[in-house]
């Protein structure tokens, strides 16, 4: 369920993470697309009480913490890291109530420290900005922190790494709940990639000359245009004019994932959109996306997305059609 999103803010608010969460969930795109408008609310300890930011400006929330009581998603932006006992007790209590009733909790960067102070990271897989990961682990030793990934999806808890990784996590949540077509519209209007895999590394070393990066970019473009074709690491290495071993190593250094992991993720992403927006059969989509067989397609799709292709189509193709029909009726009225 993703209809209402509440964003709690406290003093020391990080403006970029506040802005990206507001950009993804707060803008009404229904006027020019089939993206539904979210019930988006910014709340603070008191409605109308100014909240300081790290850059000297202020944010004035229109709502108090009661706005968190019924939201489907609580999106927690980054804020200045402080001792756990200095986070507002009222906010921590509101977060616990939200978790108890099954709301989805989404944090950006150091927002994970707020969730940790509320006891909501204990025993859970999570992440934060690589610079803060050691401190987060020290404070919450039972949390299963992965300092290398962009974001971690643990169902009703999604935590993201620093800065732009919050965009990836937010779009992932939209895609998970509403489908690829809607996530793609938001990404296109934000002028950002529609999907970066959560397991991609936060910080990628690039100890290679620019020419090698250009060569890898050519390979990625080549693969993107030919998802349905058969590819091997050896054939891609030959195209990049590298040995197989060097190519595999540098591909991971450039992208954070192996060539086959990258290719599979892109094929699944293409398949999701086809399931949502076309009437092509499972067999046809499997062939178009390069899976070779419907059985192999179902295997990879279910592993990546969590549900079978047919179930995904029933959920998201139907929703998209209903939204389009509703907008057509409204335009006639």
Q: Which residues of 93-102 are buried (b: 16+ CB within 10 A; e: fewer)?
A: ebbeebbeee
Catalytic annotation on 109? yes
| Alpha-carbon gap, residue 90 to 280, rounded angstroms | 51
How many other β-carbons are positioned within 10 Å of the β-carbon of residue 204? 12
Q: If you count them, how many residues does the chain have? A: 333
CA 281 to chain CA mean position, Å: 28
Strand partners, 13: 53, 79
- Write phi, then psi, for 265 (nearest 5 degrees): -60, -40
| Alpha-carbon gap, residue 277 to 179, rounded angstroms | 10
Active-site residue, from 109, 126, 289, 318: 109
| Alpha-carbon gap, residue 219 to 247, rounded angstroms | 10
Q: DSSP labels for 217-265?
A: HHHHHHHHH-TTS---HHHHHHHTTS-HHHHHHHHHHHHSS-HHHHHHH
Q: DSSP labels for 264-296?
A: HHHHHHHHHHHHHH----HHHHHHHTT-SSHHH
| Residues with catalytic roles | 109
């Amino acid at each position: 369920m993703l209809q209402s999103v509440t964003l709690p803010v406290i003093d020391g608010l990080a403006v970029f993470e506040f802005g990206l969460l507001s950009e993804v969930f707060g803008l009404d795109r229904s006027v020019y697309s089939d993206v539904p408008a979210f019930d988006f609310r910014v709340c603070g300890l008191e409605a109308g009480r100014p909240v300081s930011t790290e850059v000297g400006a202020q944010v004035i929330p229109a709502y108090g913490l009661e706005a968190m009581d019924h939201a489907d998603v609580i999106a927690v932006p980054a804020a200045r890291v402080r001792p756990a006992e200095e986070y507002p007790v009222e906010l921590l209590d509101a977060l616990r109530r939200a978790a108890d009733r099954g709301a989805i909790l989404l944090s950006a960067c150091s927002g994970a420290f707020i969730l940790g102070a509320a006891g909501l990271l204990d025993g859970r897989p999570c992440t934060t900005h690589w610079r803060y990961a050691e401190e987060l682990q020290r404070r919450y030793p039972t949390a299963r922190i992965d300092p290398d990934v962009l974001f971690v999806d643990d169902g009703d808890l999604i935590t993201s790494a620093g800065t732009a990784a919050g965009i990836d996590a937010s779009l992932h949540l939209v895609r998970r709940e509403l489908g690829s077509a809607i996530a793609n519209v938001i990404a296109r209007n934000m002028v950002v990639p529609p999907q970066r895999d959560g397991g991609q590394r936060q910080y990628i070393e690039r100890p290679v000359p620019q020419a090698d990066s250009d060569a890898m970019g050519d390979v990625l473009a080549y693969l993107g245009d030919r998802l349905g074709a058969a590819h091997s690491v050896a054939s891609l290495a030959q195209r990049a004019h590298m040995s197989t071993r060097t190519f595999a190593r540098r591909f991971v250094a450039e992208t954070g994932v192996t060539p086959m992991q990258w290719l599979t993720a892109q094929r699944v992403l293409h398949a999701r959109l086809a399931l949502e927006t076309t009437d092509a059969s499972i067999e046809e989509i499997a062939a178009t996306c390069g899976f070779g067989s419907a059985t192999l397609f179902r295997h990879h799709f279910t592993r990546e997305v969590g549900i079978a292709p047919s179930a995904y189509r029933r959920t998201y193709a139907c929703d998209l059609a209903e939204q389009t029909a509703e907008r057509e009726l409204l335009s006639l009225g």
